[in-house]
Structure 1
Amino acid sequence: MKRFALPIALVLLGACAPGGDASTASNPVASSDVTGTLFVANKRGNTLSKIDLVTGEEVLRLDSCTNPHELATSPDGDHVALACYGGTTVDIFRTGDLGKVASIDLGENARPHGIVWHANGDLYSTAEGRQSIFWIRDPLGQPQTFEYSTGKQGSHMLVVDPTATVAWTTDLGSKTATRVAMKARIAPISVSVGEEPEGIALAPDGSALWVSARGSNQAFELDPGTMEVLSTIDTGAFPLRLAIRPQGDVAVTSDLADGGLTVIDLETAEVVRSIAVSGPEEAQERFQVTILWSDDGERIYVAETASNTVAEVDYATGKVLRRLPTGEGGDGMAILP
């Protein structure tokens, strides 16, 4: 994501969940309630960080590639893949020591950004500069790449269905979301979804596709097959990303200009609450971007690019539990239980 000027007027959502204390110190503390490892792509530092979620400490940081963005962990947890947005490759690292084991080139002007490591073992990535997505078969063996055109400008983020036959992208420049069939000879289907759509998530049961449009402060529910817009919901200011809780009951948008999160009930397609992570007063100082759920759905991790921190938020109470230090410009995240 490129830097930009925030709107002059910052909109504060009402009914904020209690306990979202913007003054929470950026000092990691040990937690007896959480386990696992967090990986963070530091886009300004061109590095990759590994954070122990028990201690809250950054245990390892190594050089990665130019302007790294999104991350995805392998199904077996042994590797993490990194989209090198400033270049043309998807790079793969061991999760243990962050040693690089592969670099897969997607071609001239690729600018990979969104990335998915599917349960089938294959990788899928957007190639924004080529207006396409890539299917990378056998990424740790003898990689084969297959390119599918979206025909849209700024194909930025993507999701892939459980059968790995269909992918969907958000296309910032074209103001669309696009459905791409990867195993059938069917032309892509695109639909307009507000200004600068970026966030995207598929409901766990595949029943709905959700998109957030950062330029119009809205989220959209779409039919994944027909791409018909089913619902339009107003969110907080500049909903950069959207993530669905593993339980499938709610979606959350990362509202950069508010410094908060909007919680949307997926059954009713209505906003049910908001969570203050930093609040509008600190929004420009924190500059929150990517959001990521813990596997149990109890915590939300919020990358704060300007302050080089990741906020750990308790979903039930809305309280910021810790701020975890990371490298310069932490953005994309992936987690291992």
Structure 2
Amino acid sequence: MNLSGALAMSAALLLAAGCAPENRPVSTSAADQPARSLFVAAKRGNTLSKIDLATGEEVQRKPSCTNPHELATSPDGRHVALACYGGTSVDIFAVDTLDKVASIDLGENARPHGIVWHENGDIYATAEGRRSIFRIARPLAAEPQLLEFSTAKDGSHMLAVAPDGNTAWTTDLGSRTVTRVALKARMAPLSMTVGEEPEGIALAPDGRTLWVSARGSNEVFALDSDTMEVRETVETGRFPLRIAIRPQGDVAVTSDLMDGSLSVIDLAEAEVIRTIPVSGPETAQDRFQVTILWSDDGRRIYVAETASDTIAEVDYASGTVLRRLTAGEGGDGLAILP
């Protein structure tokens, strides 16, 4: 959410925010927590943090790059890649030390934002300033191979990639479109106008349906991933910034920034079946929730609360905020690894 209009809105909300409300976490034992680490990119602090989920403690924090946003984890779990939205590079860090091991420059005015580290070993990233997507082959090699694919649209922001690595899709904030890009076949990009300010994007596990949240019109759209035709339209809470599909593939949640809540969408029925309060509308401006991430078992949802420098851990079954985890200033991108 970093086009000029969104920046103005963000600044206004943050200026209006007072002190964050008192945190009232539900008691949760360390034995109940998975032995995993949560990685957080902090876009105001320009840092990368690691949180031990068993204890809830931040165990490492190191400088990253200017205005870091989305994170992606390597298939072998040894590295995390960070999209440096304030610059031109994708930077790669070792998960054990958080030391930077590689920096891959995407060229002038790249402003990478959305990022996927695919099971095939390649990294895919949007280059918003270049109206394109990059495929980075052999990202940890001395000389990675860079291939650039035009979207021909303004504000290509978030990204999804097909399981076979043949196709990618972007949400294009400035153009109000969703674009399909062929990564191997010689085909022109195919775009569809979808709502107002489409931003969140997620591909269903079977690869046939693309789910897109349009923050400006408070809607979610289900698109045929091949033809790009809209199959379903779902009304959500206010300003659904992100959408994330549960690993089981049964539901998706949207991060409804203005309501401080999550809309739970039954994907088979294409309807909202629950609303999960996180901060609530009264304190939504104090929290300013952005990125959402499911745990691997689908039991918990992690919600980056950018204004209060916290990540809310939500129990999906009960809808309870279990605790709030503290990381760097302006936490945004999230990733989980063993």
Task: State the TM-score, normalized to the length of structure 2.
Answer: 0.93
Distance 2:256 2:334 in 1: 17
Cα deviation for residue 207 of structure 1 reads 2.1
Distance 1:26 1:51 in 2: 17
Distance 1:135 1:166 in 2: 11
Distance 1:206 1:328 in 2: 35
Distance 2:9 2:200 in 1: 19
User: Match for residue 67 of structure 1?
Assistant: 67
Distance 1:28 1:190 in 2: 47
User: Match for residue 80 of structure 1?
Assistant: 80
Distance 2:247 2:304 in 1: 19
Cα deviation for residue 30 of structure 1 reads 5.1
Task: Say yes or no: does 1:47 pair with 2:51.
Answer: no
User: Match for residue 132 of structure 1?
Assistant: 132
Letter in 1 for 2:30: S
2:96 is paired with a residue whose SS is: coil
Cα deviation for residue 205 of structure 1 reads 1.1
Q: Would you say the 8 A contact 1:42–1:327 is kept in 2?
A: yes
Cα deviation for residue 253 of structure 1 reads 0.3
Letter in 2 for 1:103: S
User: Match for residue 285 of structure 1?
Assistant: 286
Pairing 1:101-250 to 2, within 5 Å after superposition: 101-141=101-141, 142-250=143-251
What CA deviation, in whole Å up to 9, does each residue of 1:51-99 have, x standing for no partner? 0000000000000000000000101110000000000000000000001
Distance 2:151 2:53 in 1: 38
User: Match for residue 314 of structure 1?
Assistant: 315
Tell me: CA distance 1:23–1:207, structure 2 relative to 1, closer, same or farther (3 Å): farther
Higher helix share: 2
1:310 is paired with a residue whose SS is: strand
User: Match for residue 14 of structure 1?
Assistant: none
Distance 2:158 2:211 in 1: 12
Tell me: CA distance 1:145–1:26, structure 2 relative to 1, closer, same or farther (3 Å): farther
Distance 1:328 1:28 in 2: 25
Q: Would you say the 8 A contact 1:39–1:51 is kept in 2?
A: yes
User: Match for residue 9 of structure 2?
Assistant: 5
2:238 is paired with a residue whose SS is: coil
Letter in 1 for 2:235: D
- The share of aligned pairs that are identical, in percent, is 72
Distance 1:64 1:333 in 2: 14
User: Match for residue 11 of structure 1?
Assistant: none
Specify every segment of 5 or more residues in structure 2 that has no aligned partner in the other structure, as ranges: 13-20
Cα deviation for residue 32 of structure 1 reads 1.9
What CA deviation, in whole Å up to 9, does each residue of 1:112-139 have, x standing for no partner? 0000000011100000000000000000
What CA deviation, in whole Å up to 9, does each residue of 1:229-287 have, x standing for no partner? 00011000000000000000001000000000000001010111110000000100000
Distance 1:225 1:93 in 2: 34
Distance 1:260 1:31 in 2: 26
Moved more, 30-39 or 236-245: 30-39
Letter in 1 for 2:55: T
Cα deviation for residue 5 of structure 1 reads 2.8
Q: Would you say the 8 A contact 2:25–2:321 is kept in 1?
A: no
What CA deviation, in whole Å up to 9, does each residue of 1:9-52 have, x standing for no partner? xxxxxxxxxxxxx8544799753222211000000000001000
Specify every segment of 5 or more residues in structure 1 that has no aligned partner in the other structure, as ranges: 9-21
Tell me: CA distance 1:27–1:330, structure 2 relative to 1, closer, same or farther (3 Å): farther
- Greater relative contact order, per chain length (Cα 8 Å cut-off, separation 6+): 1
2:31 is paired with a residue whose SS is: coil
User: Match for residue 18 of structure 2?
Assistant: none
Task: State the TM-score, normalized to the length of structure 1.
Answer: 0.93
User: Match for residue 99 of structure 1?
Assistant: 99
1:65 is paired with a residue whose SS is: coil
Tell me: CA distance 1:302–1:28, structure 2 relative to 1, closer, same or farther (3 Å): farther
User: Match for residue 34 of structure 1?
Assistant: 33
Letter in 1 for 2:139: P
